[in-house]
């Protein structure tokens, strides 16, 4: 089928792992705000016997951890950017930080459920007025963090690609997950406040630990989504990404007929992919021809093309 003298072409393009300074600064500020409020909510929930407030504080701790890991990852990626050991740059350091954060979140969610169920079984008096005030302050901090991260999140939109490449491929994974988590955190704060108001007005003390369980569910759901998203990148499970089908379409539409005998695609940066492509063709062309055909997709920053001449 193929000649023994297969032609090989390897094109190195610059992997853009230059980071996002605005995102790093915003994330650091949001982390400090969140850490301060986290301590206040956990202490207030414990002192005033509010499980919903306590759970929201733990939720904020998960958020502070995620932001802290993101800041550390930004710094490590920047410091190691000139290290030649990283074949495709240091972007995956950020992804690894998100994955580690998600594993910790699973444990936090389990602790929240345990403590909420314990409070359902053994109710304790709640100081509603004080707990409500702390809950409202926590919500305001969540909204402030969302505002901080929104600017960096919007700034990152300049990485969009041709042919409607999915936005999740274009965004900073750390920043995007942190921004979405702040929104979920704000929702948990609202649940805690509603539970406390309901307990105060209607005497439904069970609402407080119930909202603690709901808050744990939000933490677990966010952790599950982050684990799936980051592990997909770390394990190079990208063969269902839109760009894979786009590569097949380019080869199928090529004026010079060729068939794909082997194809591997994996992500190497924010919205950036590497590709190893083996083709069988009868035409005496060079790999550069097919490389030029694939150049329409700017997200392909590292392309290796191997040609086999059909018998």
Residue range 53-102, pLDDT digits in tens: 676 677 677 778 778 887 888 888 888 888 888 888 888 888 887 788 78
Q: pTM, whole model, 2 decimals?
A: 0.71
The H or E element spanning position 272 is: strand 272-281
Q: What does pLDDT average to over the chain?
A: 79
**Is 167 a residue whose pLDDT tops 50?**
no
Query: Which of the four pLDDT bands, split at 50, 70 and 90, describes residue 2?
Result: very low
Residue 108, pLDDT score: 78
Question: pLDDT digit string (tens) for 244-273?
Answer: 999 999 999 999 999 999 999 999 888 899
Residue 161, pLDDT score: 41
Closest CA to 67 of 176, 178, 227, 150: 178
- Distance CA(220)–CA(188), nearest Å, equals 12
Torsion angle in degrees (nearest 10) through CA of 285, 289, 293, 294: 110
**Is 23 a residue whose pLDDT tops 50?**
yes
**Quick one: average pLDDT of 160-187?**
59
The H or E element spanning position 269 is: strand 259-269
pLDDT greater at residue 259 or residue 154: 259
Those residues with Cβ within 8 angstroms of residue 291's Cβ, 6 or more apart along the chain or in another chain: 9, 11, 303, 305
Residue 42, pLDDT score: 84
Query: Which of the four pLDDT bands, split at 50, 70 and 90, describes residue 103?
Result: confident
**Quick one: average pLDDT of 9-31?**
64
- Distance CA(15)–CA(301), nearest Å, equals 7
Q: How far is CA 311 from CA 2, 5, 197, in A?
A: 6, 12, 78
**Is 305 a residue whose pLDDT tops 90?**
yes
- Distance CA(106)–CA(99), nearest Å, equals 11
Most confident of 23-37, 127-141, 179-193, 263-277: 263-277
Q: Show the domains of the chain with their CATH numbers.
A: 7-13+240-309 (3.30.70), 21-234 (1.20.1510.10)
- Distance CA(103)–CA(44), nearest Å, equals 26
Cβ atoms < 10 Å from Cβ of 145? 30
- Distance CA(69)–CA(104), nearest Å, equals 11
Closest CA to 267 of 11, 9, 17: 17
Question: pLDDT digit string (tens) for 207-242?
Answer: 878 888 888 888 788 888 888 988 999 999 999 999
């Amino acid at each position: 089928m193929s000649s023994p003298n297969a032609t090989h072409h390897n094109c190195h393009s610059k992997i853009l792992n230059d980071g996002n300074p605005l995102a790093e600064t915003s994330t650091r500020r949001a982390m400090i705000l969140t850490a301060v409020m986290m301590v206040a909510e956990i202490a207030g929930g414990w002192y005033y016997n509010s499980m919903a407030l306590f759970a929201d504080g733990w939720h904020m701790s998960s958020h502070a951890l995620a932001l802290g890991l993101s800041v550390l990852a930004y710094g490590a990626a920047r410091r190691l950017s000139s290290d030649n050991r990283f074949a495709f740059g240091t972007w995956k350091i950020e992804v690894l930080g998100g994955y580690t954060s998600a594993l910790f979140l699973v444990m936090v969610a389990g602790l929240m459920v345990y403590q909420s169920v314990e409070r359902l079984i053994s109710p304790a008096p709640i100081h509603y007025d004080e707990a409500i005030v702390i809950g409202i302050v926590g919500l305001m901090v969540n909204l402030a963090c969302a505002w901080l991260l929104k600017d960096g999140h919007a700034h990152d939109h300049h990485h969009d690609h041709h042919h409607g490449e999915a936005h999740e491929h274009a965004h900073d994974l750390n920043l995007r997950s942190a921004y979405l988590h702040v929104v979920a955190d704000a929702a948990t704060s609202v649940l805690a406040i509603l539970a406390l108001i309901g307990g105060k007005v209607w005497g439904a003390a069970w609402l407080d630990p119930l909202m603690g369980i709901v808050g744990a569910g939000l933490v677990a759901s966010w952790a599950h989504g982050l684990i799936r998203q980051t592990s997909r990148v770390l394990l190079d499970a990208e063969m269902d990404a839109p760009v894979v089908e786009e590569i097949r379409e380019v080869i199928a539409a090529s004026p010079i007929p060729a068939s794909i005998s082997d194809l591997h695609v994996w992500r190497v940066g924010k919205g950036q992919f590497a590709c190893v492509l083996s083709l069988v063709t009868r035409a005496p062309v060079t790999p550069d021809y097919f490389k030029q055909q694939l150049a329409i997709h700017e997200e392909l920053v590292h392309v290796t093309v191997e040609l086999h001449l059909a018998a």
